[in-house]
Structure 1
Amino acid sequence: MSKRILLLLTGDIVVAIFALLTAFLIRFGELPAPGDLTRTGTVRVIIFVFIMIFSSFFVEIYNLNRYLGGKESAARISISLLISLFILSCFYFMAPLFVYDGMVLIFSLFIFGTLQLAWHYLCYISSRFSGFSRRVLVLGTGPLAQQIGNLIAAGNQNYVLSGYVNCASEPLDVPPQNIVGNEERLYETVMRARAHKIVVSLSERRGIFPLQDVLSCKLSGVEVVDAPTFYEQVTGKLLIENITPSWFIFSHGFRVTALLRYFKRMIDLISAIVLLLLFLPFFPIIALLIKLDSQGPILFRQDRVGEKEKKFTLYKFRTMGVDAEKDTGAVWAKEHDPRVTRLGEILRKSRIDEIPQLFNILAGDMSLVGPRPERPEFVNKLKEIIPFYSERHCVKPGVTGWAQVQYPYGASVEDAIEKLRYDLYYIKNLSMAFDLMIVLETVKVVLFRRGGR
């Protein structure tokens, strides 16, 4: 998780607690006694803080791709407060012991919203000052260096480009005016540019990598990373074109332990059972609508490739006509696909067609979160074209996943490459906290109907 997100989250947690205490002071003229902060009091504080952070996350307050602006930030925070008020009101009726007085709640929400807006704006202003930005020096001038330079210039993170360092035999694909030195005097160039980080972006390192100078920079406190690692840090996906097998072996991550698999499986089983109990009453209604809309079975069965490239049968509510691929064979789904029925369009956009995959979770073929399982016909083709494509099968496929919430529905080889970047990033950084974040993102994707076809 980005350090900036952690900074915003930490500030919002402090602001939430401060808002609660201030509202208590305004309402009763005194701060809560120490006894009020024990047992139910502590639970009430935790509930309030969690709901405020969840609502903020839900309306994408922590979106770092761009600054939202004062008006949009205020609008999103207002929506977040309304969501928080609704959830906390539900808590009040269900468990009044864990919710504060109504006036305390209103005051605390108003104070939190005001301070949150000020805190986020302060963080944005401070990140614009050069003294708070992290200066990056790119070692190389070739196409890879150009890609990293463009990534920094996009401004998605708190980085500024200090310039490029030219190395012998490297092509010149970057603006000449941005070259600030060469590899022979790298240490002096780094000190002169006051760079915080060096990104090694050489097309070929053998024979030209300035080992001693880079080592001197690292021992002087300058962070040194390679281009794939920097790309991962900024974008949340992997630069698979410039990754070698040794990078997979020696990089941090890619450790899916037996204990992690066990906890993940337990959560999958509990989640699948709870969700099935919630959705089972609606199954007859959905089945009836499918039958009335078009002839054919209610459930659609299709072979998919799962963990360790084992095939399994995936279940979905049918959204296409019978024998939709009889004449064409296996083809990518596309926007406004004529094979999709009228009801199928609604089921796909709302992701209701995915609900039967909960049975796949119970059977152990899938997980709640993981890479999307692909069809065998496409897997065989993609393995020949895309490097490291098979590595996505080292974990169970998921009903939802990092690629699904970050990228629209894939319908081509190019889309498969882009989604693989996210899938490998997920496997590299797999954790229960990451899974929880993906589930929360999935809720937003479903409600706002993003990316379905």
Structure 2
Amino acid sequence: MTSVFGHDVRSDLLVLYLAETGAVFLAVYALALLGVAQDTRINTLDAGLVAVAVALCCGVVVGASGLYRPEVLSRARRIAAGGFVAALLLLILTWLGLQFLTPARDPFSWSMVGAVLLGSVLGVAVARVGCSTATRCGLLTRRLLVLQDAPPGLPAGREAEAVRDFLVPVFMPIDAVGDGALTPEWLKAQRIWAVVAEPSSLTCTMRERFRAAGLRILSPDELDECRLNRVVPERLPENWLLTARGAHSSRFGQFLHRCLDIAAASFILLATLPVWVVAAVLVRLDSPGPILYRQVRVGLHGKHFTLYKFRSMVVDAEAGGAPRWATRNDPRVTRLGRFMRLTRIDELPQLINVLRGEMAIVGPRPERPGFVEQLGRLIPHYDDRALVKPGITGWAQVNYPYGASVEDARMKLAYDLYYVRRRSLFLDLVVLVSTVRVVLFQEGAR
């Protein structure tokens, strides 16, 4: 794993991203230069700038299509669907970019669009073949020294699972670690990346030896946090908030996040304004009742606020007054409401909450007071998610499907607390890119 601005990213996927970006840049740059003789409007500098812009955009659209997710790498049908979506998004971005950059007096260059798409496809294909070969040869795997006894019959299965995760464990009983064992030379020869052990089982001498060899020392819980990008609420220490980034944002950091929220919300609102008009008319025609649905939610530091959504359920869906979990094929959802939920159109009015300062673009989803009170009694650290503003999208939303039970709420909290612990602008960007995938492939909606 590699830490990028506090967020742990799988090293093989990071290498894949860098390889694809570099390969796309070289391919597009070469194709642009080959076309210089036929198109005098493009010089060497312009070709380089176009290649850089395309390479960066390509990485974003590939990520937005879900093609960097580990579970997708071995699914041919999902790769094909993601590749088609990525190509379509890149085509749209290229067309818009050239429309904006091409002077009005010059004809639009469809040859450049073709060169961009061809170069991107070639670059991504070459990079993926190269990284796949390197993975099979073991060049991108991480070897872990696990200081514990390997239970009989389990190591093979755990090793097989770890290989899929690109983490290969090397088990060693803690009793076998003597003064002369685990020398830096042996550790480097075994290509050990990190040591996994219970903190109480390591002596000061062991820690110094491992640090001298440049190894990372992880507890089993820390390894799971790095590998799965979530935490276990029941195992968090009471003082974990002392090192949580989300709980200790500086005033400048808060100001920067607020400025970005306002800018993003304003842009999305203006870009989707026609969708608002159509959705409002269709909601009115589809079923009797108000266009907007208002509901009290719990926000920052437990404060209540009114959340706005396009109404997707029938009126009096909770006539009894008690909150109810949404279920698959919920009969309370209207015909139009089901479509709006799949496409997340019903959540567009929450941009008003963002502009009012009650929500952020990225953050834990705001829950209803009744659920917060119930879940706070059942799940440790549940109230800690309110240390950051709730968001329209969030780390839990892009990693776990819609929650409809206490166990679902516990799993989503594991991702929310990871976000509170590792919050950064980079992680916000990862969430926003992943949200495109969730919306396009309709993941987790009910």
Q: Does 2:410 correspond to 1:434? A: no
- Residue 344 (1) aligns with residue 337 (2): yes
Aligned to 1:217: 210
> Is the Cα contact below 8 Å between 1:139 and 1:165 reproduced in 2?
yes
The count of residues paired between Structure 1 and Structure 2 equals 430
Structure 1 residues 339 and 426: CA distance shift in structure 2, 3 A: same
Q: CA RMSD in A?
A: 3.4
Give the Å deviation of 1:10. 1.9
Give the C-alpha shift of residue 406 in structure 1. Answer: 0.9
Distance 1:219 1:308 in 2: 43
What one-letter code is carried by the residue in structure 1 that aligns with 2:231?
L
Alpha-carbon distance in structure 2 between the residues aligned to 1:424 and 1:417: 10
Deviation at 1:141, TM superposition (A): 5.3
Matching residue of 1:230 = 223
Question: Secondary structure in 2 aligned to 1:245?
Answer: coil
Distance in 2 (CA, whole Å) between partners of 1:48 and 1:375 is 43
Question: 1:271-311 CA deviation, whole Å, 9 max, x = no partner?
Answer: 22222223334434323322332222221111111001111
For residue 194 of structure 2, what is the amino acid of its counterpart?
K
Which of 32, 43, 46 is matched with 1:36 structurally? Answer: 43
SS of 1:319's equivalent in the other structure is: coil
* Match of residue 357 from structure 2: 364
Alignment gaps of 5+ in structure 2: 1-8
Alignment match, 1:321 = 314
Q: Distance in 1 between matches of 2:107 and 2:117?
A: 13
What's the secondary structure of 1:374's corresponding residue?
coil
Normalising by structure 2, we get a TM-score of 0.84
Structure 1 residue 9 corresponds to structure 2 residue 20: no
| Distance (Å, rounded) in 2 between the aligned partners of 1:52 and 1:363 | 34
Aligned CA distance change for structure 1 residues 41 and 123 (closer, same or farther; 3 Å): closer
- In structure 2, the CA distance between the partners of 1:319 and 1:132, relative to structure 1 (3 Å rule), is closer
Q: Identity of counterpart residues, as a percentage? A: 32
1:162 to 170, 173, 198: 170
Distance 1:312 1:78, change over 3 A: closer
Structure 2 counterparts to residues 390-405 of structure 1, below 5 A: 390-405=383-398
Q: Distance in 2 between matches of 1:251 and 1:213?
A: 28
CA distance in 2, matches of 1:153, 1:229: 18
Relative to 1, partners in 2 of residues 1:77 and 1:325: Cα closer, same or farther, differing over 3 Å? Answer: closer
Q: What residue number does 2:67 align with? A: 61
Unaligned runs of at least 5 residues, structure 1: 167-180
Deviates more, 1:365-374 or 1:297-306: 297-306
Between 1 and 2, higher relative CO (CA 8 Å, sep ≥ 6) is seen in 2
Deviation sequence 1:143-193 (CA, Å, 0-9, x none): 9xx99x959824453210111535xxxxxxxxxxxxxx6456794499489
Q: Is the 8 A contact 2:360 2:391 kept in 1?
A: yes
**CA–CA separation in structure 2 for the residues paired with 1:226 and 1:5:** 23
Quote how far apart the aligned CAs of 1:111 are: 3.9
Deviation at 1:14, TM superposition (A): 1.8
- Matched ranges for 1:107-126 at <5 A: 107-126=115-134
- Letter of the structure 1 residue corresponding to residue 193 of structure 2: H
Is this contact kept in 1: 2:25–2:52, CA < 8 A?
no
> What is the identity, as a one-letter code, of the residue corresponding to 1:196?
W
Tell me which of 130, 142, 145 is aligned to 1:137. Answer: 145
Conserved 8 A contact 1:301-1:316? yes
**CA spacing shift, 1:299–1:77, aligned 2, 3 Å:** closer
AA aligned to 1:258 is R
Distance 1:235 1:296, change over 3 A: same
